[in-house]
Amino acid sequence: MAAFSQLYNLHINVLFNYGLKLTIDKELLKDCIHDIFVKLYTKKDELGTIDNLRSYLFISLKNKLCDELRRRMYMSDTAVEEVSISTPTDVEDDYMEEEQRKNEFSLVRRLLDQLSPRQREALTLYYIEEKKYEDICEIMNMNYQSVRNLMHRGLTKLRSLAS
């Protein structure tokens, strides 16, 4: 029972996040996740060996959600044409976009790490914290023209590193 509880805690968040890509109904999603874990526990002897538990859980959740949505559609007065269902390619696209964002963030971080600490601080204050030059002068205890020069040299170095 402790191992099953640990298994549940290990996978619940990732299954919930995956399920949100397939449906916006959080209560239905929670019920479906609960149902697949109940089935996993009650039918553990009948299931045999599961080579990849994570894949099994993802596929089970997708199938359970599809079954529940199909059952609700059958009982619903809503026309089939009015229902929009996420396709697996939507999930793949979202994953690819997230990976792209991570790669871009990593690149920006590596480029910023190559600047001097003062240049990085000035650029961070201006572009990320959206401070005005006057505020940056005060924070960094520098005059206006020095901050402008520091920003210019930092941006020039970033451009040369990025190309």
- Determine the pLDDT at residue 52: 81
CATH 3.40.50.720 fits 107-160, yes or no: no
- Determine the pLDDT at residue 24: 86
Among residues 63, 70, 72, 161, which one has the least CA distance to residue 112?
161
Q: What one-character DSSP code corresponds to residue 48?
A: -
Please state the domain extents for the chain.
Answer: 1-74, 107-160
pLDDT per position in the chain (163 positions), as tens?
777 788 888 888 888 888 888 888 889 889 999 999 888 888 877 777 777 888 888 888 898 888 888 887 766 555 555 655 555 556 677 778 888 888 888 888 888 889 999 998 998 889 888 889 999 999 999 999 999 999 999 999 989 988 8
CA 42 – CA 111 distance, rounded (Å)? 53
Contacts of 80 (CB under 8 A, 6+ apart): 73
